[in-house]
Structure 1
Amino acid sequence: MPLFRKNEADNLFVKHHGRYLQTQDGWYFYTREGKTLGPYDSKDLAIEGLNQYLEFLPQAHPVNS
């Protein structure tokens, strides 16, 4: 079920869907690092963006053995 934060329903169309956020501008996703990335044209594209982000992370921050 989408959640609205205080005053969001009054000022701007914003729906929270777990790790995803829908606004008038498009779809976004949240990262564990506290970033909000987007906008994407659809939730499916936001999901794909998140998957690409998760694949990129190990390459950006390799773990030393």
Structure 2
Amino acid sequence: MNRTGEEGTVPSRSKRFFEKGDYWYYSTREGVDIGPFDTLHEAEVGASDFIDFIIHAEPTIRETLGRYSSRAA
């Protein structure tokens, strides 16, 4: 299924959430793994909160995060 604003063939997508040991994590588009969370639900809420933060962040904050994420990936 296409996301809002996407047209054409659906691109391949990777799983955002994964379990490692007894904990849950999520991956950002930049390839940064964020966690640990005790449950999948907590990881889903964390990812949603992160996306909301990025959407509303000042451009300088997004630029800074972009620089650091490119180093971590």
TM-score (norm 1): 0.62
Structure having the higher strand fraction is 1
Task: Tell me the equivalent position of 1:22.
Answer: 19
| Number of residue pairs aligned between Structure 1 and Structure 2 | 46
Moved over 3 A (4+): none
Rounded Cα–Cα distance in structure 1 between residues aligned with 2:22 and 2:29: 22
Structure having the higher helix fraction is 2
Match of 2:51, as an amino acid?
A: L
Task: Tell me the equivalent position of 1:51.
Answer: 48
Match of 1:28, as an amino acid?
A: Y
Q: Deviations over 1:16-39 (max 9, x none)?
A: x82111011400000001110000
Comparing both chains, which one has the higher relative contact order based on Cα–Cα distances under 8 Å and sequence gaps of 6 or more?
A: 2
Runs of at least 5 residues in structure 2 that lack an aligned partner in the other structure: 1-13, 60-73
Question: What is the root-mean-square deviation of aligned Cα atoms in Å?
Answer: 1.8
What's the % identity of the aligned pairs? 35
TM-score (norm 2): 0.56
